[in-house]
Amino acid sequence: MCYRNSFLGLLLFNLLFINPSSAADNDPVEHYSKRATAQLRDAISRETVRGAGIVPAYAATLQDTFLAAGFPSDALTLVPYNDTASLIVRYA
Protein backbone atom coordinates (compact mmCIF):
# COMPACT_ATOMS: atom_id res chain seq x y z
CA MET A 1 0.00 0.00 0.00
CA CYS A 2 2.90 2.35 0.73
CA TYR A 3 4.18 2.00 -2.86
CA ARG A 4 0.78 2.93 -4.25
CA ASN A 5 0.54 6.04 -2.04
CA SER A 6 4.04 7.11 -3.10
CA PHE A 7 3.14 6.65 -6.75
CA LEU A 8 -0.10 8.61 -6.39
CA GLY A 9 1.73 11.38 -4.51
CA LEU A 10 4.37 11.61 -7.23
CA LEU A 11 1.71 11.64 -9.93
CA LEU A 12 -0.21 14.41 -8.15
CA PHE A 13 3.00 16.44 -7.70
CA ASN A 14 3.78 16.14 -11.41
CA LEU A 15 0.28 17.18 -12.42
CA LEU A 16 0.23 20.20 -10.12
CA PHE A 17 3.77 21.56 -10.24
CA ILE A 18 5.44 20.54 -13.46
CA ASN A 19 4.68 22.67 -16.49
CA PRO A 20 3.58 20.33 -19.31
CA SER A 21 5.34 22.49 -21.89
CA SER A 22 8.68 21.98 -20.12
CA ALA A 23 8.54 18.26 -20.91
CA ALA A 24 8.09 19.06 -24.61
CA ASP A 25 10.91 21.61 -24.47
CA ASN A 26 13.28 18.91 -23.20
CA ASP A 27 12.35 16.47 -25.96
CA PRO A 28 15.23 16.53 -28.47
CA VAL A 29 13.05 15.31 -31.34
CA GLU A 30 10.56 18.11 -30.74
CA HIS A 31 13.37 20.66 -30.33
CA TYR A 32 15.12 19.76 -33.58
CA SER A 33 11.83 19.39 -35.45
CA LYS A 34 11.01 22.98 -34.53
CA ARG A 35 14.47 24.14 -35.60
CA ALA A 36 14.23 22.28 -38.92
CA THR A 37 10.80 23.75 -39.58
CA ALA A 38 12.12 27.24 -38.85
CA GLN A 39 15.07 26.67 -41.21
CA LEU A 40 12.75 25.48 -43.98
CA ARG A 41 10.42 28.45 -43.50
CA ASP A 42 13.43 30.76 -43.70
CA ALA A 43 14.66 29.06 -46.88
CA ILE A 44 11.24 29.22 -48.53
CA SER A 45 10.81 32.89 -47.66
CA ARG A 46 13.99 33.85 -49.52
CA GLU A 47 13.90 34.57 -53.23
CA THR A 48 16.80 32.31 -54.14
CA VAL A 49 16.44 32.57 -57.89
CA ARG A 50 19.31 32.91 -60.29
CA GLY A 51 20.40 36.49 -60.75
CA ALA A 52 18.90 37.83 -57.51
CA GLY A 53 22.25 37.57 -55.70
CA ILE A 54 20.66 36.18 -52.55
CA VAL A 55 22.09 32.65 -52.67
CA PRO A 56 25.64 33.56 -51.51
CA ALA A 57 24.24 35.40 -48.48
CA TYR A 58 21.91 32.51 -47.69
CA ALA A 59 24.76 30.00 -48.01
CA ALA A 60 26.77 32.14 -45.57
CA THR A 61 23.79 32.13 -43.18
CA LEU A 62 23.64 28.33 -43.35
CA GLN A 63 27.39 28.19 -42.75
CA ASP A 64 26.92 30.30 -39.59
CA THR A 65 24.15 27.94 -38.48
CA PHE A 66 26.45 24.92 -38.79
CA LEU A 67 29.25 26.76 -36.97
CA ALA A 68 26.87 27.68 -34.15
CA ALA A 69 25.83 24.02 -33.94
CA GLY A 70 29.43 23.05 -33.26
CA PHE A 71 30.75 22.02 -36.66
CA PRO A 72 34.44 22.84 -37.05
CA SER A 73 35.16 25.58 -39.57
CA ASP A 74 37.36 23.25 -41.64
CA ALA A 75 34.32 20.99 -42.21
CA LEU A 76 32.50 23.79 -44.03
CA THR A 77 33.45 25.12 -47.45
CA LEU A 78 31.62 27.98 -49.13
CA VAL A 79 32.18 27.76 -52.89
CA PRO A 80 31.20 30.90 -54.82
CA TYR A 81 30.29 30.46 -58.48
CA ASN A 82 29.35 33.51 -60.55
CA ASP A 83 26.29 35.01 -58.85
CA THR A 84 25.50 31.93 -56.76
CA ALA A 85 27.28 29.73 -54.20
CA SER A 86 27.35 26.25 -52.75
CA LEU A 87 27.95 25.15 -49.19
CA ILE A 88 29.80 21.88 -48.71
CA VAL A 89 29.44 20.34 -45.26
CA ARG A 90 31.62 17.40 -44.25
CA TYR A 91 30.29 15.26 -41.44
CA ALA A 92 32.13 12.30 -39.99
pTM, two decimals, is 0.63
Question: Angle CA(66)–CA(77)–CA(41) in degrees, nearest 5?
Answer: 40
- Percent of the chain predicted with pLDDT > 90: 39
CB atoms within 10 A of CB 49: 10
Categorize the per-residue pLDDT at 86 as very low, low, confident or very high, splitting at 50, 70 and 90.
Answer: very high
For residue 3, what pLDDT is reported?
45
Mention every residue, 6+ apart, whose C-beta is less than 8 A from residue 84: 50, 55, 56
For residue 82, what pLDDT is reported?
87
3-state secondary structure of 45: helix
Report pLDDT digits (tens) over 32-72. Answer: 899 889 988 988 898 877 778 889 999 999 999 999 989 99
3-state secondary structure of 73: helix
Alpha helix positions (H), the chain: 2-17, 20-25, 28-45, 55-68
